[in-house]
């Protein structure tokens, strides 16, 4: 299967999810779906079609978009399957989600400005 998204890859999402991703989080069909959701949410937030206009971005802008999209997709994946995510405590899960959320929102705010 080939990555379905434009702004991020399955590998980037799995890196954002981190160590001990569950079997459901590793499935490329799932990560592709989460990437598409992240792209839609990001484009809605900035009121600009980031995917259609992807070719107009510079290399560093594309990397920034990949970071935001993979962080957002990882948040969706972690939230969907929290029970099997191998972290010691619920607080650790919340800390990771909070970190990913802040990172993606900072990038989206920068894009909006």
pLDDT in tens, the chain (113 residues): 578 889 999 999 988 887 777 788 888 899 999 999 999 999 988 889 999 999 999 998 899 899 899 988 988 888 876 665 555 556 677 777 778 878 877 887 777 76
Q: Which DSSP symbol is given to 3?
A: -
**Does 4 map to a domain?**
no
Separation of alpha carbons 45 and 101, rounded Å:
14
**Does 90 map to a domain?**
yes
> What's the structural domain count of the chain?
1
What is the extent of the structural domain holding 93? Answer: 10-112
Residue 5 token pair = 């998204």
* pTM assigned to the model: 0.81
**Through-space distance between the first and last CA atoms of the chain, rounded to whole angstroms:** 36
């Amino acid at each position: 299967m080939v990555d379905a998204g434009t702004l991020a890859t399955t590998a980037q999402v799995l890196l954002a999810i981190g160590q001990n991703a569950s079997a459901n989080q590793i499935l490329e069909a799932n990560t592709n779906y989460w990437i598409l959701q992240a792209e839609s949410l990001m484009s809605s937030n900035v009121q600009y079609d980031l995917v259609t206009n992807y070719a107009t971005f510079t290399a560093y802008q594309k990397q920034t978009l990949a970071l935001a999209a993979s962080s957002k997709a990882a948040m969706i994946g972690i939230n969907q399957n929290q029970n099997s995510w191998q972290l010691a405590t619920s607080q650790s899960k919340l800390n990771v989600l909070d970190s990913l959320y802040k990172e993606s929102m900072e990038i989206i705010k920068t894009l909006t400005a």
